[in-house]
Each structure stands twice: as structure tokens, then as C-alpha cells.
């Protein structure tokens, strides 16, 4: 997921939260929209990016534990034949997940995925790592 896509998701999330939480009234009695920091303070959960990446890792662990005869596992492990057109290489789901695991500094993820309690711990760590700052300042 590119940073442009991530930014669009965060903007949409903030827009929805502003609708849900509504405006706030100042001491002078003037109504105003909530600022990003106020939204971050009110909502104590990870942002949508952390949730997406954690769910993606959750699915990776599920696929890794599957039997080799399952269609999903065969598709995951398959190497397509043929050539791609000239140009920038297309990103694959597998590449994005491996980048997330690299960001988490996880080396032996295949081994960890076999142990469900350890994998769940990794998923909770991913939520806090990727969703720690709800609204990054640019």
C-alpha cells in the first residue's frame, strides 16, 4: 500500500470520526470541528492502517498453517509462468506482507506462524507498531 493510499484512508477515517463524534464547543460558546490531535486522544485504538496490516498478517499466518493440498496455499506458493510487460514491476501481496514483516523485524515468521499464541502476540504488536500514531504530522 503506497503512502498516498494510506493518507487517503487516514483522511477518510478522520472524516468519519468527526461525523460520529460531532463538533465541540469552546469556552466562548462557539462550535468548531475537532482537530486531529483531539480525535487521536478520544479514540484510543490503532488507526485503520494498523488494522489493515494486522489483518493481512493474520491471513498470512492462516495460509502458512494450511495444508499443502488446499487451493489457497497452492495459489500462494505458485510461481506464474510467462513474462510480464516491460515497465515497473507490479507489487504482489506477498511482497507487501514481507515488507510489513521486515518493518516489524521478524526473521523467522514461518516458524512463528505455526505457534498460534506467538503469532497472536506478533499481530497485537503489529497493530500498535503500524497504528501507533493515528495521524502522522507531515
Instruction: Calculate what percentage of the chain has a pLDDT beyond 70.
Output: 94
Structural domain for 54, as ranges: 46-78+89-133
Residues 38 and 97 in one domain: no
Set of cell numbers at residue 44: 484510543
100 and 33 housed in the same domain: no
State the DSSP H helix or E strand holding residue 12, giving kind and residue range, or none if neither: helix 3-21
Per-residue pLDDT, 133: 56
Q: What pTM was computed for the model?
A: 0.76
CA distance 64 to 10: 30
Residue at grid coordinates 468527526: 18
Number of structural domains the chain divides into: 2
27 and 40: one domain? yes
CA-wise closest residue to 100 among 7, 6, 14 = 6
**pLDDT at residue 79 in the model:** 84
Is residue 108 over pLDDT 70? yes
User: Same domain, yes or no, for 54 and 72?
Assistant: yes
Does the structure show a pLDDT above 70 at 136? no
Amino acid at each position: 500500500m503506497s503512502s498516498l493510499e494510506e493518507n487517503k484512508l487516514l483522511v477518510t477515517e478522520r472524516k468519519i470520526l468527526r461525523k460520529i463524534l460531532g463538533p465541540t464547543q469552546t469556552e466562548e460558546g462557539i462550535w468548531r470541528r475537532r482537530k486531529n490531535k483531539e480525535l487521536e486522544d478520544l479514540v484510543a485504538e490503532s488507526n485503520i492502517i494498523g488494522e489493515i496490516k494486522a489483518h493481512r498478517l493474520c491471513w498470512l499466518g492462516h495460509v502458512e498453517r494450511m495444508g499443502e493440498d488446499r487451493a489457497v496455499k497452492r495459489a500462494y506458493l505458485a510461481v506464474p509462468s510467462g513474462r510480464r510487460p516491460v515497465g515497473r514491476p507490479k507489487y504482489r501481496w506477498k511482497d507487501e506482507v514481507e515488507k510489513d514483516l521486515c518493518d516489524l523485524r521478524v526473521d523467522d515468521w514461518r516458524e512463528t506462524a505455526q505457534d498460534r499464541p506467538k503469532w497472536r502476540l506478533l499481530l497485537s504488536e503489529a497493530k500498535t507498531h503500524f497504528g501507533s500514531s493515528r495521524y502522522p504530522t507531515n
